[in-house]
Structure 1
């Protein structure tokens, strides 16, 4: 990276994440934010509350994202004070608007918004872009130069970070006597209409991540699935993880490694959907289910975030 690019210029990097409640008492408000101000039914609130209680009563997403931001700021600055890294959540606190306002108050000369979902989707990522643009308007920050990093599914260090997690899991499974196992890649599902209508490149984005990892760590057999379908009554991208586990069991498989490559830290979709829900489902099918460790604050992942930022400054 050319030193002239950053010399004397204060750059604010805003990490954009979904957000999650840190206590069960906040779940009704959290769900209302997700639904654009519409309150959820008592049944839905109860179901989500039970899930959060099952993982300890709160999500670690904010704490982990703060750790990512602090590590990224150190890595970008390399002992200098050119970059400031902020956190902006779309559905919980600190909100994106708060992050933009803080960056403006700190006198940032330019902003880079980085969505922490590597695979771009019009159904999800574009909402972050819209929320970010709205925040710029509300904060009267429209005169600050901005770049929005919305797609980085095969950023080299990201692939390295995922490959590192896979190798560690593979070694662990073999140490436990599972010389052969099925690998199931997962990302968050989205309504299938977006893909069927040809307006969303999400599947291709997913495949970029998957192919990058498989070039580094060949594996057989492997499967591509979608998880954590929402409560909206519409068709979602398939196959689901449950369908995939059914097929593996029918083929006589015994051990399964879930490899969530659409998520970059532990939160409800990891700690409940996989570690509790899918594990119980797998057991019912006679399968033993494992999971790769989340990236969280992996040094290689922090390098990936920095790489994505630098690539957009060059």
Structure 2
């Protein structure tokens, strides 16, 4: 489904007037072009797309003396006017985990310079009263990122939905759409969503991580192996690894539902690291990204606390 289909659905359902003024286009990876030619072309295409949500203004009508919502192509406050994120080579391959304070670097600030003033209308700049609590627009992805620095779209949208609901219910008078406490609490929901996603595709992952509940990370690899041994994990995983299902009646191709090496804890850890469920610290200890750690009840000093209910 494209934007046109989505907008048509809003028009058909009568939601367009309530939704259109809350939208804003974002142009990412904007290249350096003469006299802003790229953004000019982007804006024109965006206007053509958004025009179906705007009010029709007949010739001769005094649109400035009416309630018509029909912004011009050049209107900088209009939904079709893009908030740009510039292309910056330094962002390519940037290791966020190994680069504390990356968001304050000059090239990052330059790339997001024109985007953040628009985006911060959704939420305040900080996860509290000042920068010591974290920057809002890096805090959330950092806490939803898995071990290979990927964020699940489903988890991200779930987090925003939870944050919006929390803000409406607990902080109705807040000046922004999203309160920082609502954002903080939404990580719990997003963590549960991501674990559900993974368990649907690879149920053995839950069996491997569940024995770590009640412990804290980073954790020594030897301790992980002991915890697995106590619950006879190898036996459980071996049964999962033996469960194959034909894709169709005539097909002998089988789908693996367990890990590749259920009896070798070292290789099992490497497989979990490859999946982004675990990651290895430089000192060799094993860590869990917050997006998995929280839902599995694994502790870490300074982590986002579990929220009752």
TM-score range, shorter chain: under 0.3
TM-score scaled by length of structure 1:
0.27
Compute the TM-score of the two structures, normalised by the length of structure 2: 0.28
Report which of the two structures shows the higher radius of gyration computed on alpha carbons: 2
Please state which structure has a larger fraction of its residues in strand. Answer: 1
Higher relative contact order by CA 8 Å / sep ≥ 6: 1 or 2?
1
